[in-house]
């Protein structure tokens, strides 16, 4: 995400920030702050979780208001990265866990497809800056979403 966690503003980003993007992007960055505050090191896993959290927030906040146009819609509905993010989010219930009907391999597959896509372009193609924690699998990659969604 082109935002507060990006030390290098010259890194190309597919996301162009507009006025309607600010709120969900801010949520993305606050989500990072929440996770990093617990001394979790930066990883690609954490980045994908932040994108999924941002999507869930944006959908809940904007709903169909931004179905056509706007940078949230563009980032999440007009890019391959957004498609991978939505595929993960669509497997989750309101509490951030899997639907009872969702087998765990589906999370694993959706997460692995997201990893593949995120690695195709900067800044997430930088595996040194965004290492993949391969010990963390499937739904385990989204425990902070579940933590923040408790009671939702
Ligand atoms: Zn980020």
**In this predicted structure, what is the pLDDT of residue 15?**
44
Instruction: State pLDDT tens for residues 44-102.
Output: 999 999 999 999 998 888 766 655 667 788 888 889 999 999 999 999 998 888 888 88
| Residues having C-beta closer than 5 Å to ion ligand 1 | 1, 5, 50
CA of 74 to the centre of ligand 1 (A): 17
Residues 137, 146: contact at Cβ < 8 Å? no
Q: pLDDT tier at 143 (50, 70, 90 boundaries)?
A: very high
CA of 3 to the centre of ligand 1 (A): 7
Residue-averaged pLDDT of the chain: 83
Task: Tell me the backbone φ, ψ of residue 57, rounded to 5 degrees.
Answer: -65, -50
CA of 150 to the centre of ligand 1 (A): 22
Instruction: Report the first-to-last Cα separation within the chain, whole angstroms.
Output: 26
**In this predicted structure, what is the pLDDT of residue 104?**
86
Q: Which two tokens stand for residue 32?
A: 């990072």
CA of 98 to the centre of ligand 1 (A): 23
Residue 3: name the closest of 45, 44, 43, 47 by CA: 47
**pTM exceeds cut of 0.85:** no
């Amino acid at each position: 995400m082109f935002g507060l966690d990006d030390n290098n503003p010259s890194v190309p980003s597919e996301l162009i920030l507009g006025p309607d993007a600010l709120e969900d992007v801010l949520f993305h960055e606050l989500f990072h702050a929440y996770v990093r505050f617990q001394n979790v090191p930066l990883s690609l896993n954490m980045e994908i979780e932040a994108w999924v959290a941002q999507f869930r927030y944006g959908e809940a906040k904007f709903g169909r208001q931004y179905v056509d146009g706007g940078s949230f819609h563009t980032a999440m509905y007009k890019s391959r990265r957004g498609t991978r993010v939505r595929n993960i989010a669509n497997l989750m219930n309101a509490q951030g866990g899997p639907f009872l009907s969702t087998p765990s391999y589906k999370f694993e597959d959706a997460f692995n497809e997201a990893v593949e896509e995120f690695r195709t372009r900067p800044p997430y193609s930088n595996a040194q800056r965004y290492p993949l924690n391969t010990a963390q699998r499937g739904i385990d990659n989204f425990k902070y979403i579940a933590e923040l969604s408790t009671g939702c």
